[in-house]
Structure 1
Amino acid sequence: MWRPLVAPQRTRKIKMLKDKSILVTGGTGSFGRAFVARVLEQYPDIKRLVIYSRDELKQFEMEQQFPRSRYRGLRYFIGDVRDAARLRRAFEGIDIVIHAAALKQVPAAEYNPFECIKTNVMGAQNVVEACLDSDVKCVVALSTDKAAAPSNLYGATKLCSDKLFIAANHIQGDRGIRFSVVRYGNVMGSRGSVMPFFLSRRHDKTLPITDPRMTRFNISLQEGVDMVLWAVENAEGGEIFVPKIPSYRVTDVARAINPDCEFEVIGIRPGEKIHEEMITVSDSLNTVDRGQFYAILPSSDILDPASYCERTGAVPVPEGFSYNSGDNDHFLSVVELQALIARHVENAKDHG
């Protein structure tokens, strides 16, 4: 039976957050809201927690859930990662930055390529430079499985973003700042994912399937938050962390939602893969196993693999290793998917 990722993280306080000021770019998105909820649950009197995003309506709605009258350290900053000057101002006095802002809809990125580049690449560089121009000490950037051997523009921009954050460790000088990246798969129930789409059509006799062979990695929103918090505490700077998570077959998701449905095969969308990768064979040359996570170390001299393994207890992966949703060791069964979907639906009701 598969066990949730880093479950103990939720029951103990994260020491790194005590008396710290934290900023989350894209703070009104699905991850941002879950991250803020976790931090405020553990540190309701946190020194400062800045929600940085460009959507004033979402900020207004979020403030109804997390009012400043109750959480004195909360700040709601309207701003875009494309705006370097605004970032520099927002980062004043910040200790930890979680970079979650991105344009991530694959079809929209294919149709509006440079808009995606301006946010995901140029915005990432703006974040890096604003961190270097301030007193930030820890940066964790969110990535995606689509950044490994990308087949679409969104994945390519996130790969470029990953490179920018990792390379920033070269130019931090004596500032003592750590830049790292977390890369994980599809977040169950996130906007644009297959599960809410199937749920919206659960009473139909036929569900559209892009390809019956299609598989995806799966991680819950809370597990994504756990992983970022783990990286805040444990990253040395320069790693791309990848979680060990299960896969699912898209056809099994459909059957979990409507066991009697028939499939209509409509073909994959432009830039879409049959299976997702998180670690390629090329990446494996620099990849080590840290227990619940893999760490892709930089090919430059930011981190020495031998000494890194000695310090952390990590073990190099075998030669030719790759991490692919189609070849994963564990697939969620229809029964497991039904339980996860039921939990997601219940949580959605609880949050409005």
Structure 2
Amino acid sequence: MLNNKSILITGGTGSFGKAFVRTVLQRYPDIKRLVIFSRDELKQYDMAQEFSDTKYTGIRYFIGDVRDEARLRRALEGIDIVIHAAALKQVPAAEYNPFECIKTNVLGAQNLIEACLDSKVQRVVALSTDKAAAPINLYGATKLCSDKLFVAANNIKGSRDIRFSVVRYGNVMGSRGSVIPFFLDKRASGVLPITDAAMTRFNISLQEGVDMVLWSIEHALGGEVLVPKIPSYRITDVAEAIGPECARPVIGVRPGEKIHEEMITASDSFNTVDIGKYYAILPMGARYSIQDYCQQMGGVPVAPGFSYDSGTNEHFLTAAELRELIQIHVDPHHSVE
């Protein structure tokens, strides 16, 4: 699928970017070019220690910011596929610096769209977040705007052979700033602070996120927001898995935080299709109807009023299952043994 193709990934030095690059190089050794586009020279240097351009002759490291459209245009020369993973993601930082978040997450998204439309790019997959569904913080609002921009880009592509799609998933197990590494670090203190005992989250591994993006490159028709079917966990079960003997004081929900993660709202249900491993939220006014999409993708429309959130999910991980997954997907020095 990707052999002899040229790929660019924005935000390529992040957790997803490194996992994506590792997977692509393993599965597609004949890839033509893989461009890591990011603004952090130190992270690029560190990443190059694992993925050097001498060992992997097709890899390239581009210093650049999605806020700089001219630099994006230069980086996109000869590129076939774009993965957009660049974003400002920290909720408190976005609340304190709102327009900086807007400049990267919204204006940066539009810069990339414009540059892709003026190049020979054929596939664009943008990473979204559960926080873009019924957003209650600025970060979520900017990602909803970004999603809308990428979906609407299909309306202005004209006769160009290009498709824009979005993948939306929730909490990545072990990602920086998330609860699992936080609890692992706090375990030695004997105290695991709980924001709310009722809190739940979706759970997806980094590799599952990468596989979903690769699936969308090959199969997405353009304009859909793809959502994976994944299990949930209770925050109390995470605490039990990591520190069963630790105290668990309840400290209250932080500003901009939800009790349950949402990925599909009831308002989305009228345009949502179940396609097996994923749900697809289809755009209004698309070039294809829901019936056409279902026929081509082998899907069925969800029931009116359907919603998908971590609190009402059918599949919850147990503390024992979480403990096993943490040992598989989190760094060895964070062993829960």
Match of 1:83 among 60, 68, 93: 68
Counterpart selection for 2:223 from 227, 232, 238: 238
TM-score (norm 1): 0.93
2:156 aligned with 1:171: yes
Partners in 2 of 1:312 and 1:82 — Cα distance? 35
Name the aligned partner's letter for residue 74 of structure 1. I
Matched, 1:142 2:158: no
Aligned mates of 1:332, 1:184 — CA distance in 2: 17
Instruction: Show CA shifts across 1:129-177 (max 9, x none).
Output: 0100100000000000000000100000000000000000000011110
Contact 1:238/1:303, CA 8 A, preserved across alignment:
no
The 8 Å contact of residues 45 and 71 in structure 1, kept in 2 or not, is answered as: no
Matched to 1:248, the amino acid is Y
CA distance in 2, matches of 1:346, 1:178: 36
- The CA deviation string for residues 29-56 of structure 1, in whole angstroms up to 9 with x for no partner, is 0000000000111223420000000000
- Secondary structure of 2:240's counterpart equals helix
Q: Which segment is superposed worse, 40-49 or 184-193?
A: 40-49
Q: Return the alpha-carbon distance in structure 1 between the equivalents of residues 33 and 227 of structure 2.
A: 29
> Cα distance 1:29–1:329, how it changes in 2: closer, same or farther (>3 A)?
same
In structure 2, the gaps of 5 or more residues are: none
8 A Cα contact 1:81 1:124, kept in partner? yes
User: 1:348: Cα distance to partner?
Assistant: 6.9
Report the Cα distance in structure 1 between the residues aligned to 2:56 and 2:28, rounded to whole angstroms.
Answer: 9
Aligned partner of 1:285: which letter? Answer: F
1:257 aligns to 2:226 (yes or no): no
**2:325 equivalent to 1:340:** yes
Q: Does 1:299 align with 2:296?
A: no
- In the alignment, which of 148, 158, 161 is matched to residue 143 of structure 2? 158
The answer to whether the 8 Å contact 2:3/2:29 transfers is no
Alpha-carbon distance between aligned partners in 1 of 2:94 and 2:315, rounded to the nearest angstrom: 31
1:288 is paired with a residue whose SS is: strand
In 1: Cα distance, 2:130 partner to 2:225 partner: 11
**Which amino acid in the other structure matches residue 17 of structure 2?**
G
**2:293 aligned partner:** 308
Tell whether the 8 Å contact from 2:173 to 2:330 is kept in structure 1 after alignment. Answer: no
Aligned residues: CA RMSD = 1.2
CA contact (8 A) 1:87 1:127 kept: yes
Provide the residue aligned with 1:26 in structure 2.
11
SS in 1 for 2:233: strand
**Structure 1 Cα separation of the partners of residues 80 and 106 of structure 2:** 23
Give the one of 190, 209, 213 matched to 2:175.
Answer: 190
Q: Specify the alignment match of 2:55 in structure 1.
A: 70
Shift of the 164–348 alpha-carbon distance from structure 1 to 2, 3 Å rule, reads: farther
SS in 1 for 2:249: strand
Q: Any gaps of 5 or more consecutive residues in structure 1?
A: 1-15
- How many pairs align? 335
Q: Is the 8 A contact 1:186 1:217 kept in 2?
A: yes
What is the rounded CA distance, in whole Å, between the counterparts of 1:43 and 1:306 in structure 2? 34
| Letter matched to residue 88 of structure 1 | R
Contact kept, 8 Å, 1:45 with 1:72, in 2: the verdict is: no
Secondary structure of 1:202's counterpart equals helix
> Which residue does the alignment assign to 1:225?
210
Q: Equivalents in 2 of 1:119, 1:346: separation in Å?
A: 30
Q: 1:64 to 1:252 in 2, by over 3 A?
A: same
Query: 1:90-101, aligned counterparts within 5 Å?
Result: 90-101=75-86
Given that 1:238 and 1:302 are in contact with CA atoms closer than 8 Å, whether structure 2 keeps it comes out as no
Report the equivalent of 1:9: none
Aligned equivalents of 1:170, 1:227: Cα separation in 2: 24
DSSP 3-state at the match of 1:68: coil
Of residues 105, 111, 122 in structure 2, which corresponds to 1:126? 111
Aligned to 1:48: 33
The alpha-carbon deviation at position 321 of structure 1 amounts to 0.3
Shift of 1:201: 1.0
C-alpha distance in structure 2 between counterparts of 1:248 and 1:210, whole Å: 14
Cα distance in 2 for partners of 1:275, 1:191 equals: 19
Amino acid at match of 1:136: V
Distance in 1 (CA, whole Å) between partners of 2:329 and 2:26 is 20
The residue type paired with residue 270 of structure 1 is P
Q: Is 1:205 matched up with 2:190?
A: yes
Asked whether the equivalents of residues 3 and 30 of structure 2 are also in contact (C-alpha less than 8 Å), the reply is no
Report how far residue 347 of structure 1 moved: 5.7
One-letter amino acid of the counterpart of residue 119, structure 2: S
Tell me the CA shift for residue 299 of structure 1.
Answer: 1.2
